[in-house]
């Protein structure tokens, strides 16, 4: 058996990790920036809330980031397998 299936597995798992995690990461960062801009605007207008609302990742974003992390671990495992198999 060749070591190329390990490399193929690493590439597929890495691509899956990127496709699962990047949209969730990006949405979280964009929402954080929007919320910060809105908070600054309200503070400038003198209507800011005394207790700022804590905005974090949604449940779905957390799930997608966990899936992306697991796929990244699989990709790393496959890459180690590729280098050690030969």
Does 39 have pLDDT greater than 90? no
Distance, in Å, from the CA atom of 10 to the CA atom of 64, rounded to the nearest integer, reads 19
pLDDT at 56 over 90: no
pLDDT tier at 77, thresholds 50, 70, 90? very high
pTM, full prediction: 0.79
Cβ contacts of 59 within 8 Å, gap of 6 or more: none
| 1-5, 18-22, 43-47, 51-55 — most confident range | 18-22
In Å, how far are 32, 43, 61, 69 from 47, measured between CA atoms? 19, 6, 30, 40
DSSP annotation of 53 reads P
Whether residue 28 is predicted with pLDDT greater than 70 in this model: the reply is yes
Tell me the average pLDDT of the chain: 88
């Amino acid at each position: 058996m060749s070591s190329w299936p390990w490399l193929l597995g690493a590439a597929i798992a890495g691509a899956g990790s990127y496709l699962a995690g990047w949209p969730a990461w990006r949405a979280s960062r964009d929402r954080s920036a929007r919320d910060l801009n809105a908070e600054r605007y309200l503070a400038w207008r003198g209507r800011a809330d005394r207790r700022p609302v804590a905005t974090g990742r949604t449940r779905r974003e957390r799930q997608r980031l966990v899936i992306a992390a697991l796929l990244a671990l699989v990709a790393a495992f496959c890459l180690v397998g590729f280098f050690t198999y030969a």
